[in-house]
Structure 1
């Protein structure tokens, strides 16, 4: 996953959850701090996201 792909996932999760703040977990969270992280740290194609203010909408995020 690239930083651009992560940003796309974040925008989509915000739209689906109707929340403007999210928690990002797992290895992809590193892309927030290190957008050019080594390939070995960006191997996962999934990102774990939790809406911060509307946690009940987490199941709507796919």
Structure 2
């Protein structure tokens, strides 16, 4: 059950980052919804989403 909740929270965080345009505050474009990003956020949960966000901030988008 905890794994499912973690996966859902990861996807919700990714959606919220894009919906509220949080990446624009640091001068980066929104994170695209590519299959690689969605799978990483779904399987990795919150840590996976943080990896996607950090890679986007560093200028190396995943997928």
- Smaller-chain TM-score bracket: 0.3 to 0.5
Which one has the bigger strand percentage?
1
Which one has the bigger helix percentage?
2
The TM-score with structure 2 as length reference comes to 0.35
Q: Work out which structure has the larger RCO, using CA pairs closer than 8 Å and 6 or more positions apart in sequence.
A: 1
